[in-house]
Amino acid sequence: MVFSSNIFLFAFLPIFLSIYYLCPNKKRSWVILIGSYIFYAWWRVDFLLLFIAVTLWNYFIGRGISNSGPQSVRARRWVAVGVGVNLSALAYFKYANFGVATVNTAMTELGLDPWLLTAVILPIGISFYIFQAISYIIDVYRGDTPATESLVDFAAFIALFPQLIAGPVLRYKDVADQFSQRTHTVDKFSQGAQRFMLGFIKKVVIADTLAPIVNQGFALQDPSFFDAWLAVLAYTAQLYFDFSGYADMAIGLGLMMGFRFMENFTHPYISQSITEFWRRWHISLSSWLRDYLYIPLGGNRRGEIITYRNLFLTMLLGGLWHGANWTFLVWGAWHGSVLALEKALGVDTSGERFSPLRWLLCLLLVMLGWVVFRAENLTQALTIYAALIPRAATEIYQLSPVYAGQITSLQLWALALSWLVIVLRGFYQRQQDSQRAQGDVMLKPTALAPFAYTALIMPLFVLAIFKLSAESYSAFLYFQF
């Protein structure tokens, strides 16, 4: 089940919320747990057993660490076993096919018979809930949070359906208090509903409209210069509106249930460095990688060379986390290399002073990375990269006839609108941040602002529902990770 489906909008969500609010506070964790399990089992019932096993395993590992004493030798052994099993499960389900295929390619080259392995199905959301489980047991070991005694609350945390499939990556220490005590108000519910509608519009109206431009552009065998850049621009916008749209819906659903989740995006395409970009893009993942990988590797405490190595390795493994494909490793290596280079050159990554050239350079670096991130394989990525450089003056302003015949004017207008929103909304936010940093008195929104916002968002939400109903189904891009 996905948020952008009629079954979720008109059946699951209203039934769930009705039961949730009819139940007393003490029973609402049970409602969350059962509802989340139904939500997950809608995809495949059998993988719900894996989900439950991961939950039970990490709950008892957390209890073992707590009973041993935070940061004790015995607790360290509990952590090693707990993290090891978590990573083993992730490695098997996510990387077994990739590993065997890589080995078989080498064996075939050597004239040996390849291994036979039944294809392993990737459980939806496994990357997210495994990372959440790992952060929990590490935080218990560090003494950052006590081990929970409530199995129901912990299971509800791991299974929490609004962010189960594609984040944000929650940490138990950040929401533990909310499980025991959180407020439910009309104002919070209204904020959540509007945030959900905004994300739904971003996903269905913009991202899904851009999808054909991306899919057809990357599938071209011999794209022209303009073909390639159009496809890259479309994917850059599509991925942002798709993924940030999911995050908006997750945060909105959380508010409707009384939870406050961390923001996952803060206008990343206005960044002036890759370092700043990762403070704005998929914030929950980048902060997770920083706290549970980069800092344990040594961070920037062991000299410049080690710092560069740690930046590179963190992003390389972050790329591998996204999927079992050489394209993701290259993407991670690309970002890790640029981060290390910025560190070595002493680039100002604060983002306080705006420079159009630095902004455009950062955006170019991000888009070049998205090429290999989106490509099905390295060959397809190289095809797009080669086309990004003009081969003849006549093709700069021309789409190839095949590509031009596959896209519509509506899709092109959606692309133009998406970039207009990205730039205008992003730089408005940058201006607001600058004024706040300087201590300027900012104008408070008028009483009419919420009504104007609602008046704008409601018809767009209805339009999105009609569009979704016509297309019947709309999966999120990050489901594959």
- For 211-269, give the DSSP string: HHHHHHHHH-SS--HHHHHHHHHHHHHHHHHHHHHHHHHHHHHHHHTT--PPP--S-GG
Q: Where are the alpha helices (DSSP H) in 3-125?
A: 6-7, 13-22, 28-41, 46-68, 73-109
Distances (CA, A) of 318 to 75, 91, 286, 312, 322: 27, 14, 8, 10, 7
Q: One of 267, 282, 322, 335 is an active-site residue; which one?
A: 322
The two structure tokens encoding residue 464: 């999105």
Active site residue 322: yes
Among 467, 465, 1, CA closest to 210: 467
Residues in contact with 211: Cβ distance below 8 Å, sequence separation at least 6, in sequence order: 238
Residues 476 and 246 sit within 8 Å (Cβ to Cβ): yes
* CA pair distance 106, 271, nearest whole angstrom: 41
CB atoms within 10 A of CB 226: 18
- Determine the straight-line distance between the first and last CA of the chain, rounded to whole angstroms: 16
Per-residue pLDDT tens, the chain, 481 aa: give them.
788 788 888 899 999 999 999 998 889 999 999 999 999 888 888 889 999 999 999 999 999 999 999 889 999 999 999 999 999 999 888 887 777 777 767 777 777 767 777 777 778 888 889 999 999 999 999 999 999 989 999 999 999 998 887 778 889 999 888 988 888 999 999 999 999 999 999 999 999 999 999 999 999 998 989 999 999 999 999 999 999 999 999 999 999 999 999 999 999 999 999 999 999 999 999 999 999 999 999 888 888 899 999 999 999 999 998 888 899 999 999 999 999 999 999 988 887 788 899 999 999 999 999 999 999 999 999 999 999 988 766 556 678 889 988 999 999 999 999 999 999 988 888 777 777 666 654 444 444 445 556 778 888 888 888 888 887 666 666 665 5
Residues 168 and 284 sit within 8 Å (Cβ to Cβ): yes
The two structure tokens encoding residue 36: 């989340």
Whether residue 168 is preceded by a cis peptide bond, meaning omega within 30 degrees of 0, is yes
DSSP 8-state assignment for residue 4: S
For the chain, helix, strand, coil in percent to 5 are 75, 0, 25
Phi, psi of 159 (to 5 degrees): -95, -5
CB atoms within 10 A of CB 86: 20
Q: How remote is the C-alpha of 92 from its chain's centroid?
A: 22
Return the domain boundaries, the chain.
Answer: 6-182, 189-272+354-480
* CA pair distance 363, 366, nearest whole angstrom: 5
